[in-house]
Amino acid sequence: MAEITREDLERRVKRRENLKDMDLSGLNLDDLAMEGAIFRKCKLTGTTFNHARMAFARFENCLMNDCEMQRSNLQEASIRECDLSNSDLGDSEMTEINMSKSVLSKTNLSGCFLNHSVFIGSDLQLCNFSQSTLNGSFLNGAKLMVCDFTAVNAENLTAQDVDFTGSMFEGAHLNSSRMQKSRFNFCNLSVASFKECDLSESQIAFS
């Protein structure tokens, strides 16, 4: 149960207060303006942020599982060391977002604009990236097993020492990417484009 109301939260955000150690679970924050808001160690389980405007917002060590965040604006936001498992961020604007060292297991990122985003050291197993754009993004050291990258545009991607085991890359565009020492075992690579990619020391096995 949330400790404060939507109206209280809106007032605090407008006053540029840091929100720390608060339970905001289940709040309806749809369409709310939260640009530059700061959340630290907050619980936001089941909260809805659909169409919310959160550019430049910061979330640190927050529990954000089972959230609905469709078509939200998270451009240049920072969501570090947070848990967004089972959350839905479909069709959101997330250009230059930093989600390093976060957990996004079974998270929906389909149709998202993720150009120049940072997922270094994050756990993204079973994520759906289908039809998203990841051009120029950084995934070094991330866990991306059994993910859906169908029809993704991810040119000039940096994904060194990444485990993609069991993932779907059908129709993906990964041209000019740096993917050294990564693992593509049991992946579906049909109709995928890897032109001018650096796959040195990577593993690719189908049986």
Within the chain, strands assigned E span 18-20, 38-40, 58-60, 78-80
Are residues 143 and 167 in contact, defined by beta-carbon separation less than 8 angstroms? no
138 domain-assigned = yes
159 domain-assigned = yes
Residue 3 — very low, low, confident or very high, per pLDDT cuts 50/70/90? confident
Q: Tell me: do 68 and 21 sit in the same domain.
A: yes
Residue pLDDT, tens place only, 102-134: 999 999 999 999 999 999 999 999 999 999 999
Q: Tell me: do 120 and 172 sit in the same domain.
A: yes
101 domain-assigned = no
98 domain-assigned = no
Residue 2 — very low, low, confident or very high, per pLDDT cuts 50/70/90? confident
Q: Tell me: do 58 and 118 sit in the same domain.
A: no
Q: Tell me: do 120 and 82 sit in the same domain.
A: no
Structural domain count of the chain: 2
Q: What tokens were used for 140?
A: 């070094």
94 domain-assigned = no
Mean model confidence pLDDT for the chain: 97
92 domain-assigned = no
For the entire predicted model, the pTM comes to 0.94
State how far the Cα of 167 lies from the Cα of 170, in Å rounded to an integer.
9
State how far the Cα of 87 lies from the Cα of 104, in Å rounded to an integer.
8
Residue 24 — very low, low, confident or very high, per pLDDT cuts 50/70/90? very high
pLDDT of 1 over the 70 cut? no
Q: Tell me: do 123 and 173 sit in the same domain.
A: yes
Q: Tell me: do 8 and 50 sit in the same domain.
A: yes
Structural domain including 117 reads: 109-207
CATH at 145:
2.160.20.80
